[in-house]
A and B are shown apart, each in its own frame.
Chain A
Amino acid sequence: MNKKPYVFFITKNLKPKSLLSSADRKLLVDPLDDDNPITVQVLGICSALAITVQLRPAVVMAISVVGVMAASNVIISIFRNLIPSRIRIIVQLVVVATMVILVDQILRAFAYDVSKELSIFIGLIITNCIVMGRLEAFALGNGVWRSFLDGVGNALGYGLILIMVAFFRELFGSGNLMGVQVIPDSIYILGYENNGFMLFSPMALITVGIIIWVQRSRNRKLVEEY
């Protein structure tokens, strides 16, 4: 009998050769901070304004964008050598639009309430500059697995900022989180008022600005030399 211990996944030999190589890890982690689509590349600002009044739509939007970006990056990457470069934008649009419609249908089937609230904005994922930007800049020139990681990473970086902004806007704007009141009534009785300015879109820009400010003072390599 062989008395080897049953360890399937974590063995000493496999540990350094984990699922992601360091270059792949960079694809996934960089967009979260150093190369964030919203705060560093300043893309996708429009939806950061539109759907961050409450946390729930922002979370659904973030998840939907992860799905759309991962899928369309993979598809474009598979066909990257077949797509004539003159019509590549049209092809990308068709792929993204298909994915967006798929996400919309899935939401309608399984989360109808959210879908009613969000279906306009889900449609607008097509126009989200991050999606097209990653297709153009990455998926057209890289392999399937790397494109998948890049899509997921960028969508997560986008979603992270979206959720942060929505968190502060819903908390201070309406005293709720995910639609549930979190600021207790006793504080309202003391004279606290919700900040109505938080519900206006300028405050989303200011919140994004503050996030950029904090990020840059923490991460000095983002600060340009001048």
Chain B
Amino acid sequence: MKNKLRHTIDSLKNDLRYSSNLKKFVPAVNAFDTFLFVPNVVTKSGAHIRDAVDLKRTMITVIISLVPALLFGMWNTGFQHYSQLGESVSLFESFGFGFTRIFPMIAVSYAVGLAIEFGFAIYRGHEVNEGYLVTGLLIPMIMPVDIPLWMVGVSVAFAVIIAKEAFGGTGMNILNPALTARAFAFFAYPTYMSGDKVWVADASTIDAISGETILGTLAANNPSIQYSWWDMFVGVVPGSIAETSTLMALIGAFILIFAGVGSWRIMLGCLIGGAFTGLIFNLLGVNALMSFPFYLHLVVGGFAFGVVFMATDPVSAAQTTKGKWIYGVLVGIFCILIRVFNPAYPEGVMLAILLMNVFAPTIDHYVVSANIRKRKRRWQLAKANG
């Protein structure tokens, strides 16, 4: 079976390579080939680092780290739906409900996104990159469960075309594509992306269900939260599909840090920045959002999920070591600032990360030029002394 498949792909590739007008489809076939088999291409010349990690393995690591949050999100979708209706159902039934809602979103996201990626690869004559495998999974995970599928498709198309391909494809984007998709949907279809009727499945059609998020409740200046700290940490609260669970995000964070894929400096920086800003607002304590304890700010909403999986995106984040600290702390600060100061946007982590994505190159620039100045001064001092 395997050999037969190998043979089929090889003969298809050969046929394409020597045909003048079908040549442009070679990248598309290559993408499937490397998806199915370990590529046999090795670097032949020049200095290079011997390492088993390539883009595909990095991306698969991120996907593995996303799986706990995704599975939990599927269960939580079902659990929120049934518990609001007053029904108690088994774990599998909840999960099954969530799966039937979320799987179509993932399928649409991959279908639309990969179709555009393949189209651009064929048109521009380069290989298909694996970057979209992560983006395509992230996009449904940060959407409300009730969003219509075509809106997912439109947001994906916008993110892939405008945020990624317009800048030159994988590795060249300024903004995180998954967050761009969410921001697009957020501004384009606000009634489906915010408010108190979108976070639990069928909330808009069944009166018994009302699914206000914790931050939404606070933004309405209502300080009575019915969820315990433990609920918020584990994520048994309404929210976007996979963002609610801080615990699952932490598991993902450990996988990412252990594999060396995600930057712990950015994550820790975000935590410090967020906690610090939350603490200052606690001291002021003017309204419900300001007096919301700072340690709870870090476990509600999409803070943990965004910090672990979005802020650490190696393409759009800062690259220098010092820059990563600055970038991380600023993401934390801006996240809480936007939450507290703008009641129209109860969740600030999306806009905070997008804002800092824009500034990441500037941060890196100043870190690098500061380093150059420092070494120049040291050199001049050494010259003067000796």
A residues bordering B, Cβ < 8 Å? 191-193, 195-198, 200, 206, 209-210, 213
Is B35's beta carbon under 8 Å from chain A?
no
- Whether A197 contacts B188 by the Cβ 8 Å rule is yes
> Given the complex of chains A and B, what is the CA–CA distance between A209 and B167 in angstroms?
12
- Whether A209 contacts B166 by the Cβ 8 Å rule is yes
Q: In the complex, which residues of chain A have a beta carbon less than 8 angstroms from the beta carbon of B151?
A: 193
Q: In the complex, which residues of chain A have a beta carbon less than 8 angstroms from the beta carbon of B154?
A: 195
List 8 A-B pairs, Cβ < 8 Å: A191-B150, A193-B192, A195-B154, A195-B188, A196-B187, A197-B187, A210-B162, A213-B166
Q: Which residue of A lies closest to B191 (CB)?
A: A193
- Whether B166 contacts A196 by the Cβ 8 Å rule is no
Is B125's beta carbon under 8 Å from chain A?
no
Interface residues as binary, B169-211 with A (CB distance below 8 Å gives 1, 0 otherwise): 0000000000000001001111110000000000000000000
- Whether B188 contacts A196 by the Cβ 8 Å rule is yes
- Whether B166 contacts A195 by the Cβ 8 Å rule is no
> Given the complex of chains A and B, what is the CA–CA distance between A116 and B189 in angstroms?
30
Q: Which residue of B lies closest to A198 (CB)?
A: B188
Q: In the complex, which residues of chain B have a beta carbon less than 8 angstroms from the beta carbon of A210?
A: 162
Q: Which residue of B lies closest to A192 (CB)?
A: B150
> Given the complex of chains A and B, what is the CA–CA distance between A210 and B154 in angstroms?
16
Is B148's beta carbon under 8 Å from chain A?
yes
- Whether B162 contacts A206 by the Cβ 8 Å rule is yes
The listed residue (B148, B162, B188, B190) touching A191 by CB distance below 8 A is B148
> Given the complex of chains A and B, what is the CA–CA distance between A193 and B189 in angstroms?
7
Q: In the complex, which residues of chain A have a beta carbon less than 8 angstroms from the beta carbon of B189?
A: 193, 195-196
Q: In the complex, which residues of chain B have a beta carbon less than 8 angstroms from the beta carbon of A213?
A: 166
Q: In the complex, which residues of chain B have a beta carbon less than 8 angstroms from the beta carbon of A191?
A: 148, 150
B: number of interface residues (CB 8 Å):
13
Interface residues as binary, B146-159 with A (CB distance below 8 Å gives 1, 0 otherwise): 00101100100000
List 17 additional A-B contacts (Cβ < 8 Å) besides A195-B154, A196-B189.
Answer: A191-B148, A191-B150, A193-B148, A193-B151, A193-B191, A195-B188, A196-B187, A196-B188, A196-B190, A197-B184, A197-B187, A197-B188, A198-B188, A206-B162, A209-B166, A210-B162, A213-B166
Closest-CB distance, B181 to chain A (whole angstroms): 12
Q: Which residue of A lies closest to B193 (CB)?
A: A196
The listed residue (B162, B187, B192) touching A200 by CB distance below 8 A is B187
> Given the complex of chains A and B, what is the CA–CA distance between A193 and B154 in angstroms?
11
Q: Which residue of A lies closest to B165 (CB)?
A: A213
Q: In the complex, which residues of chain B have a beta carbon less than 8 angstroms from the beta carbon of A198?
A: 188
Closest-CB distance, A180 to chain B (whole angstroms): 22
Closest-CB distance, B342 to chain A (whole angstroms): 16
> Given the complex of chains A and B, what is the CA–CA distance between A217 and B150 in angstroms?
28
> Given the complex of chains A and B, what is the CA–CA distance between A193 and B190 in angstroms?
10
Interface residues as binary, B204-224 with A (CB distance below 8 Å gives 1, 0 otherwise): 000000000000000000000
Q: Which residue of B lies closest to A206 (CB)?
A: B162
> Given the complex of chains A and B, what is the CA–CA distance between A195 and B191 in angstroms?
11
Closest-CB distance, B179 to chain A (whole angstroms): 15
Q: Which residue of B lies closest to A195 (CB)?
A: B188
> Given the complex of chains A and B, what is the CA–CA distance between A195 and B184 in angstroms?
9
Closest-CB distance, A209 to chain B (whole angstroms): 7
> Given the complex of chains A and B, what is the CA–CA distance between A168 and B151 in angstroms?
18
Q: Which residue of A lies closest to B185 (CB)?
A: A197
In this complex, the member of B154, B166, B184, B188 whose beta carbon has the largest number of chain A beta carbons within 10 angstroms is: B188
> Given the complex of chains A and B, what is the CA–CA distance between A200 and B183 in angstroms?
13
Q: In the complex, which residues of chain B have a beta carbon less than 8 angstroms from the beta carbon of A192?
A: 150
> Given the complex of chains A and B, what is the CA–CA distance between A198 and B189 in angstroms?
10
Q: In the complex, which residues of chain A have a beta carbon less than 8 angstroms from the beta carbon of B191?
A: 193
Q: In the complex, which residues of chain B have a beta carbon less than 8 angstroms from the beta carbon of A196?
A: 187-190
Q: In the complex, which residues of chain B have a beta carbon less than 8 angstroms from the beta carbon of A206?
A: 162
> Given the complex of chains A and B, what is the CA–CA distance between A192 and B151 in angstroms?
9
Closest-CB distance, A191 to chain B (whole angstroms): 6
> Given the complex of chains A and B, what is the CA–CA distance between A191 and B187 in angstroms?
18
Q: Which residue of B lies closest to A173 (CB)?
A: B188
Closest-CB distance, B194 to chain A (whole angstroms): 11
Q: In the complex, which residues of chain A have a beta carbon less than 8 angstroms from the beta carbon of B184?
A: 197
> Given the complex of chains A and B, what is the CA–CA distance between A197 and B184 in angstroms?
7
Q: Which residue of A lies closest to B154 (CB)?
A: A195
Q: In the complex, which residues of chain B have a beta carbon less than 8 angstroms from the beta carbon of A193?
A: 148, 151, 189, 191-192
Closest-CB distance, B303 to chain A (whole angstroms): 25
Interface residues as binary, B15-53 with A (CB distance below 8 Å gives 1, 0 otherwise): 000000000000000000000000000000000000000
> Given the complex of chains A and B, what is the CA–CA distance between A96 and B187 in angstroms?
38
> Given the complex of chains A and B, what is the CA–CA distance between A191 and B166 in angstroms?
29
Closest-CB distance, A49 to chain B (whole angstroms): 15
Closest-CB distance, A174 to chain B (whole angstroms): 13
Q: In the complex, which residues of chain B have a beta carbon less than 8 angstroms from the beta carbon of A209?
A: 162, 166
> Given the complex of chains A and B, what is the CA–CA distance between A209 and B162 in angstroms?
9
Q: In the complex, which residues of chain B have a beta carbon less than 8 angstroms from the beta carbon of A200?
A: 187
Nearest first, the 10 A-B pairs at minimum CB distance are A197-B188, A197-B187, A195-B188, A196-B188, A193-B189, A191-B148, A196-B190, A206-B162, A197-B184, A196-B187
Q: In the complex, which residues of chain A have a beta carbon less than 8 angstroms from the beta carbon of B190?
A: 196
> Given the complex of chains A and B, what is the CA–CA distance between A193 and B188 in angstroms?
9
Q: Which residue of B lies closest to A213 (CB)?
A: B166
Q: Which residue of A lies closest to B188 (CB)?
A: A197
Closest-CB distance, B191 to chain A (whole angstroms): 8
Closest-CB distance, A76 to chain B (whole angstroms): 39
Closest-CB distance, B177 to chain A (whole angstroms): 15
> Given the complex of chains A and B, what is the CA–CA distance between A200 and B184 in angstroms?
11
> Given the complex of chains A and B, what is the CA–CA distance between A52 and B241 in angstroms?
36
> Given the complex of chains A and B, what is the CA–CA distance between A219 and B148 in angstroms?
38
> Given the complex of chains A and B, what is the CA–CA distance between A193 and B185 in angstroms?
11
